[in-house]
A and B are shown apart, each in its own frame.
Chain A
């Protein structure tokens, strides 16, 4: 299939449709509006449902209803809206329902701004709602990945019966790039748990997150974490860039990875041995490849649009074996290649002190 020129948010929406999503529920918020606008235009033409809900809370609960009915469904929002959805995301986890949730991040906290940000990293990867649960977090770094990770996300959500979050930002959402919409086979999961009416042919299906018996609730949590273990084993995704002989390892995702790649190339031209590991899944985090990198690299540099939120995950992955510097711009600012390069120079000076 040939490539077409698309905006990131629109490529994401079209990929969702190609993945079989026919029910989109949303609420207007900048900078994810293109997703809703695209769905509003497309869904009625293909027999799908676009519904603008009365609130983010209602939208995620409509997602719960449609997912319970066994259909692929999604919602999208931006940071403040995701906070509102967190209640429903916890219920999705408690009910073991699949869903795709998109966060086109903006700077926070509070109302914050409307410029790109990655400051919902903690929220997305650690605590997207109350209770013990995980969700898969995919971080696209191009318009192509906005599409292909969305398509993949629906499969993962169905396979593991959990929420998949696309964690992106206004830059990736609004930039235009050529994209191929050829994703291969569509997987259709069997959903014998769905509430579609029993027709007197089986016992009623009940979808609930309530469990007042402590032993039973514990059993459910343990079962869920067994499933998460499989996700951690099978679904870690990352990109390694010029890591063969690297002594400094840059870690960056999303738009920061694009900036950092330029900085890595510039550093290489200066003769510095720098490479990059780009997590594509932020959960499960690519711990093993980072741990391995710590054998050879004397310093790590996290490039992010948050106040070092990813630094903690890198430190954990490498068991604090090496120093982790942070090159951060926040509030809607994007780090420049020069800023990253300056941080790499700082990292290079630490070479002698590491061991």
Chain B
């Protein structure tokens, strides 16, 4: 009896992610969701610019690679062309919460019937560890070498909190993938975000608190602990909006 196998919604391509990076887990959760909902063959994913730029090599569905921050606009164009298809974006924090803020807010405001997977690891990973819109106050990065000074560069953007005030948004939940319990909750949230789309309920965004051991300068284990001790206190997990009031507890 097979009790565990790779979802067919993932290809066999070896992933390029660093050791201890949680992108692989999140990819798998998205793939499992597509498979469980039996929509892989009708799905078009939109990859970001950032560490997940090569997501199109890993997801076994049709994929479009968008310009930095523009994934929700590209997804809008795909969904409007073919409303019967399932369309998701997979974006990092620089992509979604800095250069693509307008596209994020307005696709939510329009209630665009898409699913957004937002990976928040509080750093620009691909370019080598610069300060992200979600870097924590005091966090040391390549471009905040003395720690993020909120007096000069301001505060992190809390995406779920911000979008919870947008009438058009349907479902917003923040999850993490640093332990088994959290991974299970993340899976549930991601499935729900896709199910919402299938049911025509509108814009769902799942913010996944993720680790970046390489650019945080930690071991994978330390990075997972840092999520508990630093990230989650600043970015509390939970459902931030549920228009249809059916959040699974």
Q: Do A208 and B65 have beta carbons less than 8 Å apart? A: yes
Interfacial residues of chain A within 40-85, with CB under 8 A of chain B in the complex: 49, 51, 53-55, 57-59, 61-71, 73
Knowing A25-B77, A61-B73, A69-B77 are in contact, say whether A210-B65 is a contact too (CB < 8 A).
Answer: yes
Nearest CB of chain A from residue B69's CB, rounded to whole Å: 9
* Nearest chain B residue, comparing its CB with the CB of A68: B64
Q: Do B78 and A91 have beta carbons less than 8 Å apart? A: no
Interfacial residues of chain B within 1-40, with CB under 8 A of chain A in the complex: 11, 40
- Residue A262 is within 8 A (CB to CB) of chain B in the complex: no
- Residue A195 is within 8 A (CB to CB) of chain B in the complex: yes
Give the A-binding residues of B (Cβ under 8 A): 11, 40-44, 46-47, 53-54, 56-57, 59-67, 70, 73-82, 85-86, 102-103, 105-106
Nearest CB of chain B from residue A20's CB, rounded to whole Å: 12
Q: Do B70 and A68 have beta carbons less than 8 Å apart? A: no
Query: Which residue of B54, B65, B102 contacts A209 across the interface (Cβ within 8 Å)?
Result: B65
Knowing A65-B76, A68-B74 are in contact, say whether A198-B61 is a contact too (CB < 8 A).
Answer: yes
* Nearest chain A residue, comparing its CB with the CB of B53: A210
Instruction: Please encode chain A, from 193 to 216, with 1 for each CB lying within 8 Å of some chain B CB and 0 for all others.
Output: 001111111001111111000000
Q: Do B63 and A88 have beta carbons less than 8 Å apart? A: no
B57 contact set on A, CB distance < 8 A: 206
Query: Which residue of B70, B76, B78 contacts A195 across the interface (Cβ within 8 Å)?
Result: B78
- Residue A315 is within 8 A (CB to CB) of chain B in the complex: no
A95 contact set on B, CB distance < 8 A: 64-65
* Nearest chain B residue, comparing its CB with the CB of A199: B41
Give the B-binding residues of A (Cβ under 8 A): 23, 25, 49, 51, 53-55, 57-59, 61-71, 73, 87-88, 91, 95, 195-201, 204-210
Query: Which residue of A51, A71, A205, A207 contacts B76 across the interface (Cβ within 8 Å)?
Result: A51
Bound CA span A23–B79, Å: 11
A195 contact set on B, CB distance < 8 A: 44, 62-64, 78
Q: Do A64 and B76 have beta carbons less than 8 Å apart? A: no
Nearest CB of chain B from residue A44's CB, rounded to whole Å: 13
Nearest CB of chain B from residue A7's CB, rounded to whole Å: 27
Knowing A58-B73, A197-B85 are in contact, say whether A65-B64 is a contact too (CB < 8 A).
Answer: yes
* Nearest chain B residue, comparing its CB with the CB of A64: B74
Contacts A53-B106, A197-B42 known; 5 new A-B pairs at CB < 8 A: A61-B77, A62-B76, A65-B73, A73-B77, A210-B53
Q: Do A204 and B60 have beta carbons less than 8 Å apart? A: yes
Query: Which residue of B60, B80, B85 contacts A49 across the interface (Cβ within 8 Å)?
Result: B80
Q: Do B67 and A65 have beta carbons less than 8 Å apart? A: no
Nearest CB of chain B from residue A314's CB, rounded to whole Å: 35
Nearest CB of chain A from residue B228's CB, rounded to whole Å: 35
Knowing A88-B67, A199-B42 are in contact, say whether A63-B62 is a contact too (CB < 8 A).
Answer: no
B11 contact set on A, CB distance < 8 A: 204
Q: Do B63 and A23 have beta carbons less than 8 Å apart? A: no
Q: Do A66 and B80 have beta carbons less than 8 Å apart? A: yes
What are 15 A-to-B residue pairs whose CB atoms are below 8 Å?
A: A53-B106, A58-B102, A61-B67, A63-B77, A64-B77, A66-B80, A66-B81, A68-B78, A69-B82, A73-B77, A197-B62, A198-B62, A200-B41, A208-B56, A208-B63
Nearest CB of chain A from residue B50's CB, rounded to whole Å: 12
Bound CA span A239–B187, Å: 63
Query: Which residue of A57, A198, A208, A210 contacts B41 across the interface (Cβ within 8 Å)?
Result: A198
> Most chain-B CB neighbours within 10 Å: which of A57, A65, A195, A205?
A65
